[in-house]
C-alpha cells in the first residue's frame, strides 16, 4: 500500500540514463531558478516603505532613489555572478569560489549561510504567498500557517517528482506572473498619465527634517531583500542543458533584466499612488486595487502573485539539494544527500528542506516581516565572500582582460559588504540568532567531517599485513518456549555448526521447571541453558551470558546471536505481542561486536 501511494505521489522510477533528459532549457531554468528573485518584487518595495514610514508619509519619496540604488547593486551582482559561472562551470556558487580562493573555513561559512538561506527562502515565500491570499480574502488571515504548510508540502512532492516535470508545470505561473506585473505597471503608468498622481504625494526632492542617514541605510538594506535568489543560477549550473555555463549566463542576464524592470515599476507606482504599508494588505494588492479596482483583474493579479510567491520556494528546491550534494561529497554533510531518488533528484535534500522550512513557518507563525531580515543577511554573506573569492582568483591567475573582471568583483564585494554591515547594525535585534546558528552549523560540518575521517582510519585495512582469519562458530539462540519459530531457528543454526546453545530466561521456579521438562521431552539435540531473572528482565541476563560466551570463545570462534522472531500477517497484530526480539537486537547491535541474525517465521492467520 505504501509503495502504491509513493508511486501515485512521485511517479515511476527513472533509469540513470534518463538524467540528461531532466536537464533544463533556458526558458524552464528561468522559471525554476529565477522564481525566488522575480517574486521578491512583491515585497521588496514594501520593505523599503515600512522603514521610511517611521519618518512620516513625506519620507516616501526617498523610496525612488533607494530603488534606483538597489537596481545598481543588482547590475553589479549580475555581472559578478556571470563571471563566476564561467570561472566555475560545475556549479556550487559561493561555496566553491570561497573554498578554492579564501580557504576551507570561509567556504563553509558561505555554504552554511546559503543552506540556511534556502530554508528561509521556502519559509518566506510560503508566508508571503499566504499574505497575498489573506489580503484578498481577509477571513483566511487566522489560517495563514496552515495554508503555508500545505503549499510547502505541495512543492516538496512536486520536486520529488523530478526537476524536469516540476519545471514544466511550475513555469506556467511564473511567466503568467511576469506578464501580469507588466500589465499592472503599464496600466498604472497610463492611469497616472491620464488622471495624475495622488494628491498628497510629496514632490521629488522634498526635504524631510526628521529622517536620518541611519534610517535611509536601513531602508536600502531592506529593499535589497529583492535581490535574494540572484545567486541560484550560479549554484545550479549542472541542471542546465549543454553548453551549461553559456545557458546559465544567458538565463542570469534575462532574470536580471526582468527583475530590474518589475522592481522599479512597482516602486514608481507605489510612490505615485501614495501607497502606505498595511499589515493586512500588501503593496501590490493596493496598487492593483488603485489601478483596476476590486474587479476580476484585481483578483487575477492577487491570485497569480500569491502563486508566484509560493513557487519562489522552488528556486531553493533546485539549489539546496545541489549545494548539499557538494558539501556531502566533501564529507561535510551526511552521505545521504549524495543519493539520487527514484526520479533522479536528490530526494533527501528535498525532504530535509521541506521539513525544516515548515518548522520555521510554525515557529514564526507565518510572519514574513520577521523572517525577511534573516533571509536577506543569509544571502548577503555568501554574496560578499563570493566576490572576494573572485578578486583573489583574478589576482592569482591574471588571465587576459582580468583587470575589468577584478574591478567588477571589487565593486560588488565592497557594496555587498556594506549591505551586510548595514543589516547587522540596523537590524541586529532581528538577525542576532544568525550569529548563534551559523557557528553551530559550521561546527556541525567539522564534526561530520571528523566522524568520516575517524571511521575511514578505523576501517582501513593494511593490504600487506591484514588478512581474514578462519575461526569456528558459536551460535546462541534465545528461546521463549518450545514453538515452531524456535524449531526453525535451531534447524538453521545446526546447519551451520555443531556448537549451538539455546538460552531461556525464567522468572520463577514453576516456569523454569515447566520449560526444563518440555525441552527434555522434545530433545532437539541442542543444550538448553536456564538463566534466572530476579528482576523480570530478559535482556540483562541474556547480555551477561553472551558476554561470558564472548570472553571464553572470542579467540577461537565467531559469536552469533540467532534471534527467532515471528512476523504477524497484519501490522496491527504486532501491538498484541511483546517485542523482546527487537529490543534484544537493538541493544546488541549498539553495544556488542557479535554477529546478530534474525530468523523470521511468518504467521498465516
Taking residues 285-312, what's their average pLDDT?
A: 85
67 in Cβ contact with 283 (< 8 Å) = no
User: In the predicted model, is pLDDT for residue 40 greater than 70?
Assistant: yes
User: In the predicted model, is pLDDT for residue 206 greater than 60?
Assistant: no
- Torsions phi, psi for 600 (to 5 deg): -80, 145
Q: How far apart are CA 125 and CA 118, in angstroms?
A: 10
User: In the predicted model, is pLDDT for residue 133 greater than 80?
Assistant: no
User: In the predicted model, is pLDDT for residue 196 greater than 90?
Assistant: no
pLDDT reported for residue 204: 56
What structural domains does the chain harbor? Answer: 25-452 (1.20.1740.10), 472-602 (3.40.50.620)
pLDDT tens digit sequence for 397-408? 898 888 988 998
Taking residues 131-152, what's their average pLDDT?
A: 81
User: In the predicted model, is pLDDT for residue 203 greater than 80?
Assistant: no
User: What is the helix (H) or strand (E) element at residue 597, kind and residue range?
Assistant: strand 595-602
Q: Where are the alpha helices (DSSP H) in 273-401?
A: 283-292, 296-311, 313-329, 347-363, 368-397
Q: How confident is the prediction for the chain on average, in pLDDT?
A: 84
Three-state SS letters, 459-487: HCCCCCCCCCCCCEEEEEEEECCCCHHHH
Q: How far apart are CA 70 and CA 228, in angstroms?
A: 12
pLDDT reported for residue 451: 94
Taking residues 312-324, what's their average pLDDT?
A: 85
DSSP 8-state assignment for residue 12: S
pLDDT tens digit sequence for 240-263? 888 888 999 999 999 999 999 999
Which carries the bigger pLDDT value, residue 334 or residue 6? 334
* pLDDT band, very low/low/confident/very high, at 369 (cuts 50, 70, 90): low
User: In the predicted model, is pLDDT for residue 208 greater than 60?
Assistant: no
- Torsions phi, psi for 501 (to 5 deg): -135, 135
pLDDT tens digit sequence for 531-579? 998 877 888 888 889 888 888 887 888 889 999 988 888 877 777 777 7
CA-to-CA dists, residue 335 to 104, 326, 345, 591, angstroms: 19, 10, 15, 24
User: In the predicted model, is pLDDT for residue 426 greater than 60?
Assistant: yes
pLDDT reported for residue 443: 95
Q: How far apart are CA 315 and CA 230, in angstroms?
A: 10
User: In the predicted model, is pLDDT for residue 207 greater than 60?
Assistant: no
User: In the predicted model, is pLDDT for residue 214 greater than 70?
Assistant: yes
User: In the predicted model, is pLDDT for residue 5 greater than 80?
Assistant: no
pLDDT reported for residue 360: 87
Taking residues 352-363, what's their average pLDDT?
A: 91
pLDDT reported for residue 380: 84
User: In the predicted model, is pLDDT for residue 224 greater than 70?
Assistant: yes
Q: 464, exposed or middle or buried, with CB in 10 Å at 0-12, 13-18, 19+?
A: exposed
Q: How far apart are CA 368 and CA 225, in angstroms?
A: 12
Amino acid at each position: 500500500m505504501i509503495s502504491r501511494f509513493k508511486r501515485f505521489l512521485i511517479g515511476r522510477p527513472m533509469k540513470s540514463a534518463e538524467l540528461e533528459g531532466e536537464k533544463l532549457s533556458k526558458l524552464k531554468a528561468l522559471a525554476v531558478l529565477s522564481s525566488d528573485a522575480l517574486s521578491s518584487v512583491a515585497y521588496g518595495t514594501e520593505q523599503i516603505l515600512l522603514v521610511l514610514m517611521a519618518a512620516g508619509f513625506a519620507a516616501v519619496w526617498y523610496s525612488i532613489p533607494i530603488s534606483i540604488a538597489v537596481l545598481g547593486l543588482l547590475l553589479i551582482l549580475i555581472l559578478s555572478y556571470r563571471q563566476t559561472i564561467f570561472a566555475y562551470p560545475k556549479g556550487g556558487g559561493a561555496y566553491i569560489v570561497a573554498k578554492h580562493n579564501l580557504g576551507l573555513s570561509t567556504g563553509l561559512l558561505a555554504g552554511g549561510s546559503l543552506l540556511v538561506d534556502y530554508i528561509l527562502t521556502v519559509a518566506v515565500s510560503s508566508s508571503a504567498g499566504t499574505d497575498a491570499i489573506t489580503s484578498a480574502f481577509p477571513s483566511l488571515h487566522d489560517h495563514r500557517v496552515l495554508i503555508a504548510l500545505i503549499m510547502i508540502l505541495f512543492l516538496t512532492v512536486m520536486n520529488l517528482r523530478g526537476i524536469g516535470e516540476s519545471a514544466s508545470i511550475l513555469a506556467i505561473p511564473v511567466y503568467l506572473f511576469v506578464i501580469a506585473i507588466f500589465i499592472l505597471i503599464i496600466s498604472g503608468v497610463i492611469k497616472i498619465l491620464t488622471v495624475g498622481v495622488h494628491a498628497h504625494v510629496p514632490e521629488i526632492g522634498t526635504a524631510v527634517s526628521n529622517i536620518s542617514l541611519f534610517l535611509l541605510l536601513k531602508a536600502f538594506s531592506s529593499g535589497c531583500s529583492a535581490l535574494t535568489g540572484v545567486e541560484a543560477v550560479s549554484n545550479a549550473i549542472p541542471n542546465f542543458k549543454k553548453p551549461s555555463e553559456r545557458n546559465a549566463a544567458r538565463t542570469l542576464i534575462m532574470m536580471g533584466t526582468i527583475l530590474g524592470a518589475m522592481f522599479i515599476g512597482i516602486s514608481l507606482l507605489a510612490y505615485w499612488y501614495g501607497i502606505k504599508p498595511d499589515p493586512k494588505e500588501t503593496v501590490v494588492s493596493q496598487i492593483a486595487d488603485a489601478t483596476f479596482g476590486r474587479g476580476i483583474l484585481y483578483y487575477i493579479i492577487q491570485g497569480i502573485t500569491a502563486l508566484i510567491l509560493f513557487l519562489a520556494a522552488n528556486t531553493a528546491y533546485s539549489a539546496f539539494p545541489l549545494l548539499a550534494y557538494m558539501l556531502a561529497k566533501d564529507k561535510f554533510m551526511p552521505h545521504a544527500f549524495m543519493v539520487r531518488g527514484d526520479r533522479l533528484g536528490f530526494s533527501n535534500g528535498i525532504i530535509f528542506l521541506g521539513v525544516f522550512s515548515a518548522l520555521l513557518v510554525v515557529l514564526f507563525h507565518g510572519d514574513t516581516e520577521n523572517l525577511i531580515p534573516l533571509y536577506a543577511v543569509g544571502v548577503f554573506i555568501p554574496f560578499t565572500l563570493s566576490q572576494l573569492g573572485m578578486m583573489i582568483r583574478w589576482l592569482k591567475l591574471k588571465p587576459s582582460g582580468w583587470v575589468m573582471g577584478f574591478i567588477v568583483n571589487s565593486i560588488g564585494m565592497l557594496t555587498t559588504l556594506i549591505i551586510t554591515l548595514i543589516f547587522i547594525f540596523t537590524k541586529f535585534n532581528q538577525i542576532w540568532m544568525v550569529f548563534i546558528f551559523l557557528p553551530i552549523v559550521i561546527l556541525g560540518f567539522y564534526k561530520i567531517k571528523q566522524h568520516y575521517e575517524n571511521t575511514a582510519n578505523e576501517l582501513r585495512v593494511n593490504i600487506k599485513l591484514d588478512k581474514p582469519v578462519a575461526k569456528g562458530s558459536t551460535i546462541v539462540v534465545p528461546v521463549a518456549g518450545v514453538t515452531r519459530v524456535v524449531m526453525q531457528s535451531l534447524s538453521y543454526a545446526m546447519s551451520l555448526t555443531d556448537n549451538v546453545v539455546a538460552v531461556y530466561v525464567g522468572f520463577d521456579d514453576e516456569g523454569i521447571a515447566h520449560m526444563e521438562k518440555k525441552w527434555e521431552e522434545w530433545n532437539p539435540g541442542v543444550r538448553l541453558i536456564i538463566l534466572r531473572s530476579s528482576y523480570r528482565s530478559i535482556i540483562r541476563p541474556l547480555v551477561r551470558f553472551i558476554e561470558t560466551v564472548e570472553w571464553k570463545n572470542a579467540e577461537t570462534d565467531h559469536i552469533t546471536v540467532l534471534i527467532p522472531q515471528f512476523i504477524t500477517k497484519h501490522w496491527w497484530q504486532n501491538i498484541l505481542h511483546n517485542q523482546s526480539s527487537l529490543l534484544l537486537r537493538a541493544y546488541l547491535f549498539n553495544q556488542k561486536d557479535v554477529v546478530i541474525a534474525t530468523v523470521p517465521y511468518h504467521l498465516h492467520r
